[in-house]
Amino acid sequence: MNLVSRLNNIFNKEKIYFILHVIVLVLSIYLIWTISCDTFNGISAFQRPRFMKIEFWICVVFIFDFFIELILSERKWHYFLTHILFLIVSVPYGALIEHYGWNFGPETGYLVRYIPLIRSGYALAIVVGWFTYNKATGLFVTYVVTMVATVYFSSLVFFVFEHGVNSAVVDYNDSLWWACMDVTTIGCNIEAVTPVGKVLSVLLALIGLMLFPVFTVYVTSLINQTRNNNQINTVVGKNLGGGSDSDSAGSQVK
């Protein structure tokens, strides 16, 4: 019996996966909360050494999660090759920048803080799958959360880069309004003036074009499923009714 089989016998592998993904999500929510607070207060991550240490250990947990799942995986090379991105984004780049004194500017340092959050996307999809028995529903919930997260993060980044430069962005509400309107591809009266803002305008519109059709597909799937269920119930009802009529007719003949 190899090491993987022994570990699977000692532990329930699915439960371990679930616990690890929940931990990743909880830590990701903490990162989102701290990034949001610092954004609204205009505080740079490098001005908070305590946060840099916390972010470092959170990334260590993400890396630990990656290697635990790699050990428990039956096809290790396949898992490594298909999940290598999650290992790359789990590297504590912020701590490395601070440790070696690299100077990339406050804006770049701000964007670096979002890199570990990419890891939470995969954990979110797994956890949603545990709580939804229907694959279509699980996919729909994942897309909805992805859409909300994309709009929120884009609004934060847009606010950081455009506030003080773009006269149309007076406060965060303007940035949030821009993100909501841009993702719907309707457009907004607020136009980006910085390179990052312009790139976000294009990316957010493209993401909206890709994600919004999911709503249509999901609703269509629900309608078709309801229609099929109604047809099955009708056929079953007719068969049961026909059987009762036949039985009564036979009893009358006797």
User: Which pLDDT score, from 0 to 100, does residue 137 have?
Assistant: 67
Same domain, 54 and 159: no
pLDDT (tens place) for every residue of the chain, 254 residues total = 555 555 455 456 667 777 887 888 888 888 888 888 878 877 765 566 677 788 888 888 888 988 988 888 888 898 888 888 888 888 888 778 777 777 766 667 777 777 877 777 767 666 666 655 566 666 677 777 778 888 888 898 899 888 888 888 888 999 999 999 888 878 788 888 988 889 889 888 888 887 777 777 767 776 777 777 666 667 666 666 655 444 444 444 44
Which CATH number does the domain housing residue 215 bear?
A: 1.10.287.70
Q: Is residue 218 part of a domain?
A: yes
Per the structure, the complete domain to which residue 105 belongs is given by 1-131
CB 43 within 8 A of CB 152: no
The count of other CB atoms within 10 Å of the CB of residue 224 is 10
The closest of 146, 141, 147, 159 to 184, measured between CA atoms, is 147
Q: What is the pLDDT of residue 175?
A: 92
Split into its structural domains, the chain has a count of 2
Query: Per the domain annotation, does 39 fall within a domain?
Result: yes
Give the amino acid at 83.
Answer: H
pLDDT at 239: 67
Burial of 190 (0-12, 13-18, 19+ CB in 10 A): buried
What radius of gyration, in Å, describes the C-alpha atoms of the chain? 26
Statement to judge: residues 138 and 116 lie in one domain: no
